[in-house]
A and B are shown apart, each in its own frame.
Chain A
Amino acid sequence: MPHDRPFAPQDLRPKPTRSRPLRIATAAGALWLGLILGWSGFLTAHQFRPGNASTLQHAWPPGSRLHPRPDALTAVLFAHPECPCFSATLTETERLQTLLREPLQLFVVFETDPAFDLFASRHFRRVSAWKNATIVHEADNREVALFGAQTSGQVLIFDKDRRLLFSGGITGSRAHEGDNPNLERAVAAARSRAPKVVLTPVYGCSLR
């Protein structure tokens, strides 16, 4: 439709923004980044905050009703049935069995409490599917006490002579899957059969 004014579309780009709002927005952005950085740092720090390690120091505790095989390494895992981080431990345990390339007898001891429905725990269901794992759950948590486990994700590896080779966690941080130095040290300890117990931090919920 003819118009009575020549065509000259308006430049819709924003007019030069007033400097004051832009400065305010920039300052707010800097504050924002700072807060994110701080919170992320706190979150990351929490991620690498370990729990209490096992008190067992040398060998299989006497009085334990668990009977390890004399022809294989034995690993004992301690788990809180609802600990979110334990999934990563289970994943690393699977990788541990692969990396060791020798028979490994596995005991998974669940902290039991009437408050928890053990059989509904996803961790219990997952371990139940393992062929070489023995699930231990006691009403009195006697084995947890005998082995001195305090944190979910605690792993103890014994040689054929029931000597303690490794005590600690096998994840890099809380709920963190993937290659990590703790797993590597566990594998090395199991292979080397060094006399000194290899210790690593344990990341998980407290068993007590």
Chain B
Amino acid sequence: MTMTRAASSAAAAEKVNAPPDVTALAETLFRNEERQVHIRTDQHFFWLFLVQWLGGIVLCGLVSPVAWQGTTMSIHEHLVAAVGLGGLIVGFPMALIRLMRGCGLTRHAVAAAQMLFAALLIHLTGGRLETHFHVFGSLAFLAFYRDPRVLITATVVVGLDHWLRSEFWPESVFGVSTGSLGRVLEHVGWVAFENAFLCWSIALSRRGMRAVALRQAKLEEANHRIQEQVLERQRAEERLRESERQFRTAIAKSPIPVMMYDEGGVVRLLSQGWTAYSGYTLEDIPTLGDWTQKAYNGRSDAVRAHIDQLFSLSEPVHEGEWTIRAKNGEPRVWDFHTVPLGKDGSGKRLLVSKGVDVTERKDAERQKNEFLALLAHELRNPLAPICSALHVLGEPAADAATVDQMRQMAERQVGHMARLLDDLLDVARISQGRFELRKEAVELGAALEGAAGSVRPFCEERRHELQVRRPAHPLWVQADRTRLEQVLTNLLNNAAKYTDPGGQIRLSAEAGAAEAVIRVRDTGIGIAPAMLPRIFELFVQGERRLTRSAGGVGIGLSLVKRLVELHGGRVDAFSPGLGQGSEFVVRLPALPGADPGRAMGQALLAGDQPQAAAGPAGWRVLVVDDNVDAAEGFAAALRLHGHEVRVAYDGPSALALADHFQPQAVLLDLGLPGMDGYEVARQLRENPALKRAWLAAVTGWGQPEDRQRSKDRGFACHLVKPVRLALLVQLLAEVQAGASG
């Protein structure tokens, strides 16, 4: 006997994480098979009942179809019983088989009906001995249920039938007029005897069913384990495939040049980055030989030999920078790293090489180095005339005119260095996003005049004709006045630098379509067409010869462009070519209907030389700076203007001196050793006599936050080095006038 497929494969499983319990599984399989047996046997009895019923009808029809009363016949009671009572006996269990197949009630109803039908048959056949065999045959049929309880039901029915008959109609059972319990038991005993054997047979059969179920359960459990293993292996293979796919995808889509190849020289994988930077696709370089030949040309053999050595590696290696030739012929510098991947399934060793394209970095380094060299040169340039001026000023024989000339020269060179450093700082701040504009309504005509005024001395020096054409009507823009003039000054300075002496420079502004258009035109050396697109890039220079002679490191135009863009405008360069002059056009959003009354008036421009204030002299000024030259320089300048000056080179000395000297103004360097300027200022304020002293911070830091910090610490003024002495003198005069007024 085998377990039915339906029973074993009816696995509408709930999710079970643990392996199946063999004992429970065997029990389930056994119960399922048992149920199938019940259902099958029900089906068999359904047809048996039908055959028996029809057979009984046929039998009665043949033996006793009619009863007679003389010549009058009527349907025999036996025939009626065969049809009616027989149908009643088999009808109920047949209905149960249809409606409740496999149910316990059905089985017991079948057992009872089978025994009742046996009794009917015995009656219909007139108690024939042979008909009694139907009882024993029925018991055997009922044993097909393999349920001993069914036999009990059948036996009970037989026993009850016999007992009732023995009580009421003993002749029908025993053929005698009196019944006895003994005869009942004897008849039932024979039934019980057969039942005993049938139950034993059922027990054996059920034991066999359980054994088969247990074997099936074990097989299923083993099958389950095998399936789990197979499934796990499939999952692992799938994970491996997915991992490999991800790996291959990661390499293929990597923006970095990556190549995977084997010791047979076959290129297995090539990343998009490799193609992007070199131009070669996998179709171009299917083998290492193709790659070395195309990328290294004459050195391919040496490179190939080097690569072959890499296959003996067991650790990653940095191969360094190699120059390759891209597909378009351009040389590129790549920094190679190679990692061994072990062997593939066929035993071939695999390597993965990553190439970082450092060409731009190399170019940038080269440019930076060139820039630093030029910067160093440009910074050293002013030092020479300054040294010369100082030397001359130290000569007792120097006359006043010479002294004045040397002073002016030194001031110019200091101003030049200061501008250069300011530009560098501005570019750095803009690059870092820390640049703030203080925008206001600015009338362009005034800005033009201011810028022209600052470069006019340079133009006069080079004998250029500088023409300024203001807009026909007041033209307003929203701009940072200082930065706007810085833009115009840079453009004018460039024009003056790159125009041969005696040239012409035109500065004009006009209204455009909702914008202000500023033009700086010169008759200078012009710009080569190839340089025009790059003229505003950082560190880009035109003619180095002129640059060197005129000064500059190539950041002015870059700063101009960034400042203009911060204002929401744009700047363009035009030139017919070298030697044909150039024109720079700045376009800024015009401020519609700006109120001229909002004009702030002429501000103190960077290039203006402040007039020395004609105020009362004689303030006591304390200069504190650890730089002796700087301190003495301030002191000498202030003394020339009538101030009484004392100098201290550190905080404690300054405090002691202030306590005695009681200065009215203090020029305080913030970067003092030990006690910094802020602390000195705080302690000065604690001196009741110095509470109202005018404190000015002198420092190389000029950020807005630095100025605010000085203000918060009680400084009235924040001066950024190098401090223009003329400005300082004027400032002191104004403060002094204000204090006395």
Partner of A181, one of B35, B81, B105, B177: B177
B400 at the interface (CB under 8 A from A): no
Of A4, A10, A115, most B-chain CB atoms within 10 Å: A10
> Which residues of the partner chain B approach A43 to less than 8 Å between Cβ atoms?
77, 81, 85, 123
Q: Say how far B285's CB is from chain A's closest CB, in angstroms.
A: 43
Can you name 9 A-B residue pairings with CB atoms under 8 Å? A2-B231, A5-B13, A9-B10, A9-B32, A11-B28, A28-B92, A82-B68, A173-B172, A208-B69
Partner of B68, one of A40, A48, A83, A87: A83
* A87 touching B85, Cβ below 8 Å: no
> Which residues of the partner chain A approach B105 to less than 8 Å between Cβ atoms?
22, 25-26, 29
* A6 touching B15, Cβ below 8 Å: yes
How far is B8's CA from A47's CA once the two chains are assembled, in angstroms?
A: 54
* B63 touching A7, Cβ below 8 Å: no
Q: Say how far A30's CB is from chain B's closest CB, in angstroms.
A: 11
> Which residues of the partner chain A approach B28 to less than 8 Å between Cβ atoms?
9, 11
Partner of B12, one of A10, A44, A115, A207: A10
> Which residues of the partner chain A approach B129 to less than 8 Å between Cβ atoms?
178
> Which residues of the partner chain A approach B63 to less than 8 Å between Cβ atoms?
84
Lowest 6 A-B CB distances belong to which pairs?
A84-B64, A179-B175, A175-B126, A205-B68, A8-B13, A12-B32
How far is B7's CA from A33's CA once the two chains are assembled, in angstroms?
A: 35
> Which residues of the partner chain A approach B96 to less than 8 Å between Cβ atoms?
25
B70 at the interface (CB under 8 A from A): yes
How far is B228's CA from A82's CA once the two chains are assembled, in angstroms?
A: 79
B469 at the interface (CB under 8 A from A): no
* A179 touching B88, Cβ below 8 Å: no
Within 8 A of B (CB), among A1-56: 2-14, 17, 21-22, 25-26, 28-29, 32-33, 35-36, 39-40, 43-44, 46-48
How far is B112's CA from A180's CA once the two chains are assembled, in angstroms?
A: 29
* A178 touching B31, Cβ below 8 Å: no
Q: Say how far B234's CB is from chain A's closest CB, in angstroms.
A: 7
Partner of A2, one of B76, B168, B230: B230
Find the B residue at minimum CB distance from A184: B176
How far is B11's CA from A207's CA once the two chains are assembled, in angstroms?
A: 72
> Which residues of the partner chain A approach B127 to less than 8 Å between Cβ atoms?
176-178
Within 8 A of B (CB), among A49-95: 80, 82-85, 87-88
Given A10-B12, A25-B96: A39 in contact with B85 (beta carbons within 8 A): yes
Within 8 A of A (CB), among B10-29: 10-17, 19-20, 25, 28-29
A134 at the interface (CB under 8 A from B): no
Q: Say how far B23's CB is from chain A's closest CB, in angstroms.
A: 14
B628 at the interface (CB under 8 A from A): no
Given A10-B11, A177-B127, A208-B70: A36 in contact with B85 (beta carbons within 8 A): yes
A206 at the interface (CB under 8 A from B): yes
Within 8 A of B (CB), among A166-185: 172-173, 175-181
Q: Say how far B187's CB is from chain A's closest CB, in angstroms.
A: 14
Given A3-B227, A84-B63, A84-B78: A47 in contact with B69 (beta carbons within 8 A): no
Q: Say how far B72's CB is from chain A's closest CB, in angstroms.
A: 9
Partner of B31, one of A13, A87, A205: A13
How far is B32's CA from A34's CA once the two chains are assembled, in angstroms?
A: 34
* A36 touching B20, Cβ below 8 Å: no
A113 at the interface (CB under 8 A from B): yes
Q: Say how far A15's CB is from chain B's closest CB, in angstroms.
A: 11
B71 at the interface (CB under 8 A from A): yes
How far is B100's CA from A26's CA once the two chains are assembled, in angstroms?
A: 12
Q: Chain A interface: which size bin?
A: 35 or more
> Which residues of the partner chain A approach B88 to less than 8 Å between Cβ atoms?
32, 35-36, 39
Q: A9-B11, A9-B28 are in contact. List 14 more A-B contacts (CB 8 A).
A: A6-B224, A6-B228, A8-B14, A8-B20, A9-B25, A10-B13, A40-B85, A40-B116, A40-B120, A44-B172, A48-B169, A177-B128, A178-B129, A180-B175
> Which residues of the partner chain B approach A5 to less than 8 Å between Cβ atoms?
11, 13, 15
> Which residues of the partner chain A approach B31 to less than 8 Å between Cβ atoms?
11-13
Q: Chain B interface: which size bin?
A: 35 or more
Within 8 A of A (CB), among B98-122: 99-100, 102-103, 105, 109, 112, 116, 119-120
Partner of A88, one of B8, B9, B19, B126: B126
How far is B128's CA from A87's CA once the two chains are assembled, in angstroms?
A: 12
* A176 touching B172, Cβ below 8 Å: yes
Q: Say how far B114's CB is from chain A's closest CB, in angstroms.
A: 13
Within 8 A of A (CB), among B66-84: 66-71, 73, 76-78, 81, 84
Partner of B11, one of A8, A36, A47: A8
> Which residues of the partner chain A approach B29 to less than 8 Å between Cβ atoms?
9
How far is B172's CA from A102's CA once the two chains are assembled, in angstroms?
A: 29
Q: Which residues of B contact A (CB under 8 A)?
A: 6-17, 19-20, 25, 28-29, 31-32, 35-36, 63-71, 73, 76-78, 81, 84-85, 88-89, 92, 96, 99-100, 102-103, 105, 109, 112, 116, 119-120, 123, 126-129, 165, 168-169, 171-172, 175-177, 220-221, 223-224, 227-228, 230-231, 234
* B13 touching A36, Cβ below 8 Å: no
Given A7-B223, A9-B25, A205-B68: A14 in contact with B123 (beta carbons within 8 A): no
* A46 touching B175, Cβ below 8 Å: no
Given A26-B105, A39-B81: A206 in contact with B231 (beta carbons within 8 A): no
> Which residues of the partner chain B approach A21 to less than 8 Å between Cβ atoms?
100
* A115 touching B32, Cβ below 8 Å: no
Within 8 A of B (CB), among A137-153: 152
* A10 touching B78, Cβ below 8 Å: no
> Which residues of the partner chain B approach A173 to less than 8 Å between Cβ atoms?
169, 171-172
Q: Say how far A1's CB is from chain B's closest CB, in angstroms.
A: 8
> Which residues of the partner chain A approach B64 to less than 8 Å between Cβ atoms?
84-85, 175
Of A4, A7, A17, A111, most B-chain CB atoms within 10 Å: A7
Given A7-B223, A33-B112, A180-B175: A84 in contact with B81 (beta carbons within 8 A): no
How far is B81's CA from A9's CA once the two chains are assembled, in angstroms?
A: 48
> Which residues of the partner chain B approach A175 to less than 8 Å between Cβ atoms?
64, 78, 126
Given A39-B88, A205-B68: A2 in contact with B234 (beta carbons within 8 A): yes
How far is B231's CA from A14's CA once the two chains are assembled, in angstroms?
A: 33
> Which residues of the partner chain A approach B119 to less than 8 Å between Cβ atoms?
40
* A29 touching B109, Cβ below 8 Å: yes
* B19 touching A32, Cβ below 8 Å: no
Find the B residue at minimum CB distance from A182: B171
> Which residues of the partner chain A approach B168 to less than 8 Å between Cβ atoms?
44
Q: Say how far B3's CB is from chain A's closest CB, in angstroms.
A: 10
> Which residues of the partner chain A approach B234 to less than 8 Å between Cβ atoms?
2
How far is B7's CA from A176's CA once the two chains are assembled, in angstroms?
A: 50
* A7 touching B11, Cβ below 8 Å: yes
* A29 touching B92, Cβ below 8 Å: yes
* B15 touching A14, Cβ below 8 Å: no
> Which residues of the partner chain B approach A13 to less than 8 Å between Cβ atoms?
31-32, 35
Find the B residue at minimum CB distance from A12: B32
Q: Say how far B583's CB is from chain A's closest CB, in angstroms.
A: 77
> Which residues of the partner chain B approach A35 to less than 8 Å between Cβ atoms?
88
How far is B66's CA from A25's CA once the two chains are assembled, in angstroms?
A: 36
How far is B70's CA from A113's CA once the two chains are assembled, in angstroms?
A: 9
* A4 touching B10, Cβ below 8 Å: no
Find the A residue at minimum CB distance from B85: A39
Q: Say how far A186's CB is from chain B's closest CB, in angstroms.
A: 14
Q: Say how far A46's CB is from chain B's closest CB, in angstroms.
A: 5
Q: Say how far B697's CB is from chain A's closest CB, in angstroms.
A: 78
* A7 touching B32, Cβ below 8 Å: no
> Which residues of the partner chain A approach B85 to less than 8 Å between Cβ atoms?
36, 39-40, 43
* B76 touching A84, Cβ below 8 Å: yes
* A206 touching B172, Cβ below 8 Å: no
> Which residues of the partner chain B approach A3 to less than 8 Å between Cβ atoms?
11, 227
> Which residues of the partner chain A approach B102 to less than 8 Å between Cβ atoms?
14
* A207 touching B32, Cβ below 8 Å: no
How far is B31's CA from A10's CA once the two chains are assembled, in angstroms?
A: 11
Q: Say how far A2's CB is from chain B's closest CB, in angstroms.
A: 5
* B20 touching A6, Cβ below 8 Å: yes
